[in-house]
């Protein structure tokens, strides 16, 4: 067995050597490879896994050379005189299949006058060429029967590009290269009618040396791009499948003798105090020796230095060496920088690496600068350490997505993402599932974000079994090429702390060899690969969507590898429940070091419907019927496509916050002094009075009664201290419930100004005194009707002569109308103003969320929807109590669930109505969980101003309310609307003591919980928002009503978030089918 395995590995390596290296530099003059043997049919390059690079430059770090160091320092690379952007308008032709493409368009004399123009970079499909397709894990070009490496010839659009350009005269003696940042999925390149090369891998650069193809004056570029290629079998990621030239295209020049690449290993010593530089620089001589004569030996100097922000040179070394034509040389520099400022996401300290190439007499030849950071990443004792400290990855997965430009991402968009992340305590990003634009890494270096850099490999559509391309040696070179190009491009970025070999591509010999190559090339970073699970070829156990119990089980085994969730908390639509529960567990065990939420941004495209309304399009919104689609499964973000935060982001900010506040001691004997324990959850930043400030507010029954600032104490990372706060005497003497709201603010800008001074970094609400009345908001099975009512005479009961089913109860200034047949209150008039559009009735249903669809809730719990829609009135009784109240009691039978539901309306002489509910299922053991327990009523138009005392200000649910604090909040009908991409439940508030809905003039209704309740107040009913299938309705498809519907609920089940394809809310956030009773009151606001 072992011999067989060794033989297989040896054969694989032979294949790699024989196939991979020659392919990189191979130059072919036709579209096809030669036949393997006489009589064998030729194979298209774009259907051959052995061909993925022809005449393509070897990968290297990202840089642009300058003529001399003084010009390079402090200048953007694009300011170099040796740089020229080719972005802009190009001539463009598109055809739906290769057979229709113009065969000779690359010829300089070809007439392109009838061609259209397209912006470069741009995705074709968002510019009217082809269909944007969203699928999750299938191959959109072969969803039912993928046959790698074959591509359908009748469905493979081809885009042909032409651009005329000139070369600066100063470049005449230089080497000239063309750089394509990203092209999907494969392309050929011609210059001046001569074929230059071919490339695959749509997310790493393709560079070609075009010096020998150039001519004085005007030159012609011709590019032929294929939407699909065999490389597409390695690009089966969960995102929009769109194509074209997606990143920058530019030319750059370099001297004949030039720096080809460099690798700056910038680590810390064993004490994590001093910086250790280990620098490799590769210099090549591109000159050619005269025929038949030895090349002339030339002398060069290469000076390497490290400079701090003050311009001080902390390291300087000059090496003199010789080169002959065609030779390359690798120079190594080692040095130590004392008391270096380490790089981390919290303190992203950077230095400038300078490389100066000069001639024999020190004349400048070339200069390159690059920001570097000193930091060490290692795994010790089962933990991942950064600079010697175990860190938590408070992360998100981020696709490159723009709602208007697709996969073409501007720097402004990148900075906005980082700003939102930093302001919401996100410190890490997984570049799912491909290397991102190079500028992203520079920004993460600068602002401070930990990155898992992921290779552009996902063959999800082939599964993980024997058909997995990970197990096929023919695909080994393509796997390794993609990983090599990622590592070589990004190896100098301090923000890259982990390499990821790809996503959902199975595991096998190809990834085993890739793991070995990375370890040999860069042993300074751990390697991550989810599909390796607990096999040897991953340094981190990185499961996706593992449940809390699985995390605990793993952590208790004292593992040698840390567990970092590569994906968790699937945030599709109204989701991200029980996030606090995850982190309570994560912070309990050293082996658990966080995770990456799926995901950052809803991948919706901006589109207008027939009414001209803008909406976010998802799978199925483009193309004819039958176009492959996975509906709105691309919309899983914490922010909308335009980066407007969803309410879940506030929960993430709270759970991820770097501080913890606890009540260390109860209120003291004098009733005014308390001690607050503050824990610093930063890994490197210390709390201190110079950089941070504590602000607190005291609330009594939701109203602020005191506010003050306290000096922030000195607290080292992961240490605690206590802060004494003296509260006003109101706490001691006053009745009601008291909350202390605490905030940690930064006094100075953080993240290079993205987090301005005065920003709330962390917060907490602590209850310091119980209310005199229990307002817990917890589920109750025993709450009774409140009998205490002011005795006022005057209530009258009057039958409607025109409708025997109706009667009224009236008092001073108000009239209530009941309908016996419907079993409900149908009208509430106060001073002739009608409050109700539709009277209250029992409600057990909520509009399904995306997670609900995933766990089949609409099918499993449809009986509760039926119970909300169809009720049988079994009895209706009216009585008058001695207290003066009139009680209307209706008994419903709910046939779909076999339950009785009694609603009692106790009308007091002052117009207050106490509504008591008693729910009794006859056979609860046979019933599923209940979506909600409450009542729905429609309010009259004009009642749009909302004020409530409960958890807010943002939407919250029983499993997503850590960030929502109890207080009094004011809002209105429009502000309550949360436009999730697809129609679903939204707008809930929990632990509500009272709610007022009124007109701008102040007239309205007040609801008071007996005990606390949950509510929504939105211009939609649950039925309006209910879809029959996931993604059936966009939010904009649901007509907005002109008035509010209010739900008053004892409880609503949680939104969940473990995943969106089966997981239910955790048991403690479900509503068990059993008997319940609860009450609330409504009264006119006078």
Catalytic residue status for 945: no
Do you know the residue count of the chain?
Answer: 1086
Work out the burial of residue 734: count CB atoms within 10 Å of its CB; fewer than 13 is exposed, 13-18 middle, 19 or more buried. Answer: middle
Give the whole-angstrom CA distance, residue 440 versus residue 248: 13
CA 859 from centroid of its chain's CA atoms: 29
Give the whole-angstrom CA distance, residue 151 versus residue 158: 13
Evaluate whether 571 touches 635 at the Cβ level (below 8 Å): no
Buried b (16+ CB within 10 A) or exposed e, 424-448: bbbbbbbbbbbbbbbbbbbbbbbbb
Give the whole-angstrom CA distance, residue 305 versus residue 237: 41
DSSP 16: I
- Give the three-class secondary structure for 134: strand
What's the count of helices (H) and strands (E) in the chain, helices before strands?
15, 59
Given the residues 47, 504, 512, 651, the one annotated as active site: 504
CA 368 from centroid of its chain's CA atoms: 34
Evaluate whether 264 touches 310 at the Cβ level (below 8 Å): no
CA 108 from centroid of its chain's CA atoms: 46
Evaluate whether 524 touches 499 at the Cβ level (below 8 Å): no
Evaluate whether 395 touches 424 at the Cβ level (below 8 Å): no
- Give the three-class secondary structure for 124: helix
Q: Which of 847, 841, 881, 878 is nearest to 861 (CA)?
A: 847
CA 128 from centroid of its chain's CA atoms: 28
Q: How many CB atoms lie within 10 A of CB 891?
A: 17
Give the whole-angstrom CA distance, residue 61 versus residue 177: 15
Cα R_g (the chain), whole angstroms: 34
Evaluate whether 404 touches 604 at the Cβ level (below 8 Å): no
Q: How many CB atoms lie within 10 A of CB 69?
A: 19
Give the whole-angstrom CA distance, residue 384 versus residue 344: 14
Evaluate whether 1016 touches 989 at the Cβ level (below 8 Å): yes
Evaluate whether 73 touches 310 at the Cβ level (below 8 Å): no
Q: What is the residue-wise DSSP string for 612-642? A: S-EEEE-TTSSSSTT----GGGG---SB-TT
Give the whole-angstrom CA distance, residue 224 versus residue 831: 76
Q: Which of 929, 931, 946 is nearest to 849 (CA)?
A: 931
Given the residues 567, 944, 985, 1014, the one annotated as active site: 567
Catalytic residue status for 707: no
Give me the phi and psi of 839, to 5 degrees please.
-70, 165
Distances (CA, A) of 1077 to 217, 494, 930, 1014, 1080: 87, 59, 14, 15, 11
Evaluate whether 582 touches 1063 at the Cβ level (below 8 Å): no
Give the whole-angstrom CA distance, residue 1083 versus residue 911: 6
Give me the phi and psi of 99, to 5 degrees please.
-65, -20
Sheet holding 720-726, edge to edge: 659-665, 673-680, 720-726
- Give the three-class secondary structure for 52: coil
Evaluate whether 298 touches 269 at the Cβ level (below 8 Å): no
Tell me the β-bridge partners of 451. 429, 496
Give the whole-angstrom CA distance, residue 500 versus residue 278: 23
Which residues are annotated as catalytic? 504, 567
């Amino acid at each position: 067995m072992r011999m067989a395995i060794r033989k297989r590995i040896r054969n694989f390596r032979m294949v790699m050597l024989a196939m991979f290296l020659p392919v990189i530099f191979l130059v072919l003059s036709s579209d096809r490879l030669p036949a393997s043997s006489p009589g064998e049919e030729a194979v298209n390059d774009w259907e051959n896994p052995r061909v993925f690079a022809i005449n393509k430059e070897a990968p290297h770090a990202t840089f642009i050379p300058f003529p001399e160091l003084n010009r390079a320092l402090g200048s953007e690379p694009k300011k170099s005189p040796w740089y020229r952007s080719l972005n802009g308008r190009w001539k463009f032709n598109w055809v739906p299949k290769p057979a229709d493409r113009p065969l000779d368009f690359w010829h300089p004399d070809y007439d392109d006058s009838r061609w259209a123009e397209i912006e470069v970079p741009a995705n074709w499909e968002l510019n009217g060429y082809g269909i944007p397709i969203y699928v999750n894990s299938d191959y959109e070009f072969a969803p039912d029967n993928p046959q790698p490496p074959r591509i359908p010839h009748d469905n493979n659009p081809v885009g042909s590009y032409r651009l005329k350009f000139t070369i600066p005269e100063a470049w005449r003696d230089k080497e000239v290269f063309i750089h394509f940042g990203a092209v999907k999925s494969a392309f050929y390149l011609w210059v001046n009618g001569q074929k230059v090369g071919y490339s695959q891998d749509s997310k790493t650069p393709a560079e070609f040396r075009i010096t020998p193809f150039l001519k004085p004056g005007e030159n012609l570029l011709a590019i032929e791009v294929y939407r699909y290629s065999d490389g597409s079998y390695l690009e089966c990621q969960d995102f929009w499948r769109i194509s074209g030239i997606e990143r920058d295209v530019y030319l750059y020049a370099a001297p004949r003798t030039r720096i080809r690449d460099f690798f700056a290993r910038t680590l810390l010593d064993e004490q994590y105090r001093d910086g250790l530089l280990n620098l490799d620089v590769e210099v090549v001589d591109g000159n050619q020796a005269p025929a038949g004569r030895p090349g002339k030996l030339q002398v060069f100097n290469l000076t390497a230095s490290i400079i701090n922000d003050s311009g001080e040179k902390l390291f300087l070394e000059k090496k003199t060496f010789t080169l002959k034509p065609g030779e390359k040389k690798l120079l190594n520099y080692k040095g130590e920088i004392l008391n270096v400022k380490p790089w981390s996401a919290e303190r992203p300290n950077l230095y400038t690496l300078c490389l100066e190439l000069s001639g024999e007499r020190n004349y400048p030849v070339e200069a390159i600068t690059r920001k570097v950071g000193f930091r060490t990443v290692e795994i010790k004792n089962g933990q991942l350490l950064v600079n010697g400290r175990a860190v938590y990855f408070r992360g998100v997965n981020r696709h490159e997505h723009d709602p208007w430009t697709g996969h073409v991402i501007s720097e402004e968009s990148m900075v906005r993402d980082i700003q939102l992340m930093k302001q919401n305590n996100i410190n890490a990003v997984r570049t799912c599932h491909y290397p991102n634009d190079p500028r992203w890494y520079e920004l993460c270096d600068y602002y401070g974000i930990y990155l898992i850099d992921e290779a552009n490999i996902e063959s999800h559509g082939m599964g993980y079994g024997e058909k997995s391309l990970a197990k096929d040696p023919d695909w080994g070179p393509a796997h390794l090429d993609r990983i090599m190009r990622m590592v070589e491009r990004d190896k100098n970025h301090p923000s890259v702390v982990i390499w990821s070999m790809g996503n959902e591509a199975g595991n096998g010999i190809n990834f085993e060899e890739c793991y070995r190559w990375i370890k040999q090339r860069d042993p300074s970073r751990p390697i991550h690969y989810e599909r390796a699970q607990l096999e040897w070829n991953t340094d981190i156990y990185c499961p996706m969507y593992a449940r809390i119990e699985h995390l605990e089980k793993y952590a208790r085994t004292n593992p040698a590898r840390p567990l970092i969730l590569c994906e968790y908390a699937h945030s599709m639509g109204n989701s991200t429940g029980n996030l606090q529960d995850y982190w309570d567990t994560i912070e309990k065990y050293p082996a658990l070091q966080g995770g990456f939420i799926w995901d950052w941004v809803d991948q919706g495209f901006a589109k207008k419907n027939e009414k001209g309304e803008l909406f976010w399009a998802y799978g199925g919104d483009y193309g004819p019927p039958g176009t492959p689609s996975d509906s709105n499964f691309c919309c899983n973000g914490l922010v909308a496509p335009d980066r407007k935060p969803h309410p879940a982001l506030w929960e993430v900010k709270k759970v991820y916050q770097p501080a913890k506040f606890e009540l260390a001691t109860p209120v003291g004997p004098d009733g005014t002094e308390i001690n607050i324990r503050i824990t610093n959850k930063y890994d490197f930043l210390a709390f201190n009075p110079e950089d941070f400030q504590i602000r607190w507010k005291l609330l009594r029954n939701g109203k602020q009664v005191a506010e003050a600032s306290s000096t922030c104490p000195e607290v080292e990372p992961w240490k605690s201290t206590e802060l004494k706060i003296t509260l006003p005497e109101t706490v001691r003497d006053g009745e009601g419930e008291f909350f202390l709201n605490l905030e940690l603010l930064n006094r100075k800008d953080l993240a290079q100004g993205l987090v301005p001074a005065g920003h709330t970094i962390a917060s907490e609400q602590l209850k310091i005194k119980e209310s005199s009345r229990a307002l817990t908001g917890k589920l109750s099975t025993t709450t009774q009707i409140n009998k205490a009512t002011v005795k006022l005479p005057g209530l009258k009961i009057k039958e409607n002569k025109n409708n025997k089913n109706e009667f009224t109860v009236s008092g001073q200034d108000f009239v209530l109308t009941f309908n016996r047949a419907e079993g409900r209150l149908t009208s509430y008039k106060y001073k002739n103003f009608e409050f109700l559009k539709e009277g209250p009735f029992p409600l057990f249903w909520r509009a399904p969320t995306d997670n609900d669809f995933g766990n089949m809730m609409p099918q499993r719990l449809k009986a509760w929807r039926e119970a909300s829609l169809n009720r049988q009135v079994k009895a209706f009784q009216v009585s008058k109590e001695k207290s003066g109240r009139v009680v209307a009691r209706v008994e419903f039978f709910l046939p779909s669930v076999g339950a009785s539901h009694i609603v009692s309306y106790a009308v007091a002489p002052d117009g207050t109505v106490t509504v008591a509910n008693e729910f009794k299922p006859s056979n609860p053991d046979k019933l599923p969980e209940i979506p909600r327990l409450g009542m729905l009523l429609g309010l009259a138009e004009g009642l749009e101003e909302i004020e409530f005392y409960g958890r807010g200000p943002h939407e919250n649910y029983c499993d997503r309310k850590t960030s929502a604090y109890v207080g009094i909040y004011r809002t209105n009908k429009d502000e309550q609307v949360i436009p999730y991409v697809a129609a679903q439940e939204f707008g809930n508030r929990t632990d509500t003591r009272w709610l007022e809905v009124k007109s701008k003039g102040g007239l309205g209704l007040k609801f008071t919980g007996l005990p606390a309740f949950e509510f929504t107040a939105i211009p939609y009913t649950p039925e309006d928002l209910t879809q029959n299938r996931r993604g059936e309705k966009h939010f904009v498809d649901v007509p907005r009503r002109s008035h509010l519907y209010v739900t008053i609920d004892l409880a609503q089940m949680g939104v969940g978030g473990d995943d969106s394809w089966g997981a239910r809310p955790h048991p403690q956030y479900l509503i068990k089918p059993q008997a319940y009773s609860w009450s609330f009151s409504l009264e006119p606001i006078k």
